[in-house]
C-alpha cells in the first residue's frame, strides 16, 4: 500500500473515504472483543485443570518436612515450593518468601512496609519530605499505580532496546537522595518485550545510590514465558552480591500465567535488612499463606524441568497468536510509516507506536466498533504518554478467529486516525 506520509491532501481525503467505509462495516457487526489485558485464554487455563485432582479428601497433605499443610504455620512457605522458585529465580531457597496468589500484592506490601518502617537505618518513606521512583517507560501500569497510590513522584526513564537508559538512571540514583527505587521487568518487559542486556544488569547491580534505602524492584514476571528459544539474562542477585550490594534488589515472581492466574502462588526474594523487615511485616498479617495450594502446585509442577515442559504447552497456544499479530502488521504497514512495532520473543504483549497524537483516537475508534484495548497512555506514569503514540496489544485472551478480526479492525483504526491527523496538518 502507499505510504500515507507521501500522499497529497486530495489523495489522503480519497483514502479516508475508503477506510471510513471499511470502518462502518465493522461497526455494523456488533463486535464485543476484549484485548485490554494480558490474560491467559481459557485454552491456557485448561492446561492446569489436572492440578485440581492432585489433592483431594483422601490426600495426606503432608509436606516433605512433615508439615501438615491443613494447619497454621510456615510463614516463608513450604521448602519444596521455595526450591522450585529458587530454581526459577536463580536465588537461594533461604532468600525466598512464598506469598498468596499475587506477586503484585507482595510488591504493594513491600512498598507499604517501607512507607512505615525504617530501612537501612533511614526514616520510613512516609516521614521523608519527598519520595521519587524511577519508572522505565513504556512500562507496567500497575507498578506505576502502586507508587501513585502512596503519593510518590514518578520519574519516566526512557527504555532503550536493551533496557532502561542507564546514563539517566545512574545520574538520578547516585545524585538525588529522594530517589528510592526503580521498577524493572528484565525479561520480555511489559509492554515492549525487551530483554535487559548484560551491560544494563551489571550497571544496575553496581549502582552507588545516594539514598541508603534505594531498592531495585525486579519483577521477573516472564522468566519462563518464552515464545521462541529461551533467552538467558544475568542473575541480578549474583551481580549485586559481587558488588557488595546484596540489599539492593528485591525480586518477584509468580505462577499466575503458569497455572491459574486467580489461584496461583507468588514469591519474593531478598537478603539482609530487607528480609528481616519483610518477615516481621508478613508475620503481623498472616500466620502462613495457603499451604494446600503450595502443596498442590509442587506436586503438579514437580520441578523446573517439568515446569518448562508445561510452559511449552502455553507457548504452542500463544505463539500462533503473536505470529498472527506481527504478520498482519507487516503485511499492512511494512511500507507505510504511520506505525511501528516491537517483535517480542516472549512475554504477553506487542507494543505498537502509532503516529504522534493518534493513540487515544485509535483506542476510541476501536472501542466504538466493539474492540477494547488497553487505554492509550496506560504504559506511562500518570497515564500520560508525552507523544500519545504507544499502544499495548494483548493477543493472549481472544481465540485466533476473534484475534484475526480484532486486528483487522485495529489496523483500520490506525489508518483512520493517521489520515485524520495528516489531513488536518496538510493545510
The answer to whether residue 51 is domain-embedded is no
CB count in 10 Å sphere of residue 208: 11
**Shared-domain flag, residues 229 and 138:** yes
- CA 48-231-145 angle, 5° bins: 70
- Burial category of 260 from C-beta neighbours within 10 Å (exposed 0-12, middle 13-18, buried 19 and up): buried
Assigned domain for 53 exists: no
Residue 101 included in any domain: yes
What's the confidence (pLDDT) of residue 36?
Answer: 86
Same domain, 247 and 380: no
Do 341 and 289 lie in a common domain? no
Same domain, 418 and 390: yes
Specify whether the CB–CB gap between 212 and 123 falls below 8 A: no
Domain extent for 194: 61-301
Claim to verify: residue 287 and residue 212 sit in the same structural domain: yes
Shared domain for 178 and 277, answered yes or no, is yes
Last residue of a domain, one of 301, 326, 356: 301
Beta strands in 43-100 (DSSP E): 96-98
Whole-angstrom distance, CA of residue 143 vs CA of residue 219: 9
Last residue of a domain, one of 256, 275, 301: 301
Question: Do 249 and 314 belong to one domain?
Answer: no
Domain limit, last residue, from 249, 273, 301? 301
DSSP E strands in 278-386: the ranges are: 339-341, 350-354, 371-373
In a domain, 371, yes or no: yes
In-domain check, residue 95? yes
Q: What CATH code is carried by the domain that includes residue 397?
A: 3.90.1150.10
Please report the pLDDT score of residue 195 as a whole number. 97
Of the CA atoms within 13 Å of residue 38, those in its CB half-sphere come to 24
Give the total number of structural domains in the chain.
2
Q: What is the CATH number of the domain that holds 270?
A: 3.40.640.10
Residue 54 lies in a domain: no
Q: In this structure, what is the dihedral angle of CA atoms 302, 303, 304, 306, given to the nearest 10 degrees?
A: -50
Residue 158 inside a domain? The answer is yes
Residue 83 lies in a domain: yes
| Among 225, 215, 155, 151, residue whose Cα is nearest residue 190 | 225
| Residue 348 shares a structural domain with residue 251 | no
Tell whether 68 and 200 lie within a shared domain. yes
| Same-domain check for residues 250 and 105 | yes
> How many residues appear in the chain?
427
Q: What pLDDT, on a 0 to 100 scale, did the predictor assign at position 34?
A: 87
pLDDT in tens, the chain (427 residues): 678 998 999 999 999 999 999 999 999 988 888 888 889 999 999 999 999 999 999 999 999 999 999 999 999 999 999 999 999 999 999 999 999 999 999 999 999 999 999 999 999 999 998 999 999 999 999 999 999 999 999 999 999 999 999 999 999 999 999 999 999 999 999 999 999 999 999 999 999 999 999 999 999 999 999 999 989 999 999 999 999 999 999 999 999 999 999 999 999 999 999 999 999 999 999 999 999 999 999 999 999 999 999 999 999 999 999 999 999 999 999 888 899 999 999 999 999 999 999 999 999 999 999 999 999 999 999 999 999 999 999 999 999 999 999 999 999 999 999 999 999 987 5
Radius of gyration for the alpha carbons in the chain, expressed in angstroms and rounded: 23
Specify whether the CB–CB gap between 96 and 268 falls below 8 A: yes
CA angle 95, 101, 105 (to 5 degrees): 75
144 and 250 housed in the same domain: yes
Whether 226 and 325 map to the same domain: the answer is no
Amino acid at each position: 500500500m502507499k505510504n500515507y506520509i507521501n500522499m497529497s491532501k486530495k489523495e489522503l481525503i480519497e483514502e479516508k473515504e475508503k477506510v471510513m467505509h471499511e470502518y462502518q462495516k465493522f461497526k455494523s457487526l456488533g463486535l464485543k472483543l476484549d484485548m485490554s489485558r494480558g490474560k491467559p485464554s481459557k485454552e491456557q487455563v485448561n492446561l492446569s485443570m489436572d492440578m485440581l485432582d492432585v489433592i483431594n479428601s483422601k490426600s495426606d497433605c503432608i509436606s516433605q518436612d512433615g508439615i501438615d499443610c491443613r494447619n497454621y504455620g510456615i510463614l516463608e512457605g513450604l521448602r519444596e515450593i521455595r526450591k522450585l522458585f529458587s530454581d526459577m529465580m536463580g536465588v537461594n531457597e533461604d532468600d525466598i518468601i512464598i506469598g498468596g496468589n499475587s506477586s503484585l500484592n507482595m510488591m504493594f506490601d513491600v512498598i507499604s512496609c517501607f512507607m512505615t518502617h525504617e530501612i537501612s537505618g533511614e526514616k520510613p518513606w512516609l516521614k521523608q519530605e519527598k519520595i521519587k521512583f524511577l519508572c522505565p517507560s513504556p512500562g507496567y501500569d500497575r507498578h506505576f499505580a502502586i507508587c501513585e497510590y502512596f503519593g510518590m513522584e514518578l520519574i519516566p526513564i526512557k527504555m532503550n532496546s536493551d533496557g532502561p537508559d542507564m546514563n539517566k538512571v545512574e545520574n538520578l540514583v547516585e545524585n538525588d537522595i529522594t530517589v528510592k527505587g526503580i521498577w524493572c521487568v528484565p525479561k520480555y518487559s511489559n509492554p515492549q518485550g525487551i530483554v535487559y542486556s548484560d551491560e544494563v544488569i551489571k550497571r544496575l547491580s553496581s549502582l552507588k545510590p545516594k539514598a541508603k534505602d534505594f531498592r531495585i524492584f525486579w519483577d521477573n514476571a516472564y522468566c519462563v514465558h518464552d515464545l521462541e528459544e529461551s533467552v538467558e539474562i544475568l542473575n541480578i542477585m549474583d551481580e549485586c552480591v559481587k558488588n557488595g550490594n546484596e540489599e539492593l534488589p528485591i525480586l518477584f515472581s509468580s505462577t499466575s500465567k503458569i497455572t491459574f492466574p486467580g489461584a496461583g502462588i507468588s514469591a519474593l526474594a531478598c537478603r539482609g535488612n530487607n528480609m528481616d523487615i519483610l518477615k516481621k511485616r508478613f508475620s503481623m498479617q498472616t500466620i502462613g499463606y495457603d499451604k494446600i495450594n503450595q502443596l498442590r502446585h509442587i506436586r503438579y509442577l514437580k520441578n523446573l524441568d517439568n515446569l518448562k515442559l508445561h510452559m511449552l504447552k502455553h507457548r504452542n497456544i500463544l505463539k500462533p497468536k503473536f505470529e498472527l499479530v506481527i504478520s498482519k502488521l507487516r503485511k499492512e504497514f511494512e511500507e507505510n510509516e504511520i506505525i511501528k512495532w516491537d517483535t517480542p520473543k516472549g512475554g504477553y504483549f506487542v507494543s505498537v507506536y502509532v503516529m504522534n497524537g493518534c493513540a487515544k483516537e485509535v483506542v476510541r475508534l476501536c472501542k466504538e466498533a466493539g474492540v477494547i484495548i488497553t487505554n492509550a497512555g496506560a504504559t506511562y506514569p500518570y497515564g500520560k504518554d508525552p507523544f500519545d503514540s504507544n499502544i499495548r496489544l494483548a493477543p493472549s485472551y481472544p481465540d485466533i478467529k476473534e484475534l484475526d478480526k480484532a486486528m483487522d479492525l485495529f489496523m483500520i483504526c490506525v489508518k483512520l486516525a493517521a489520515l485524520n491527523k495528516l489531513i488536518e496538518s496538510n493545510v
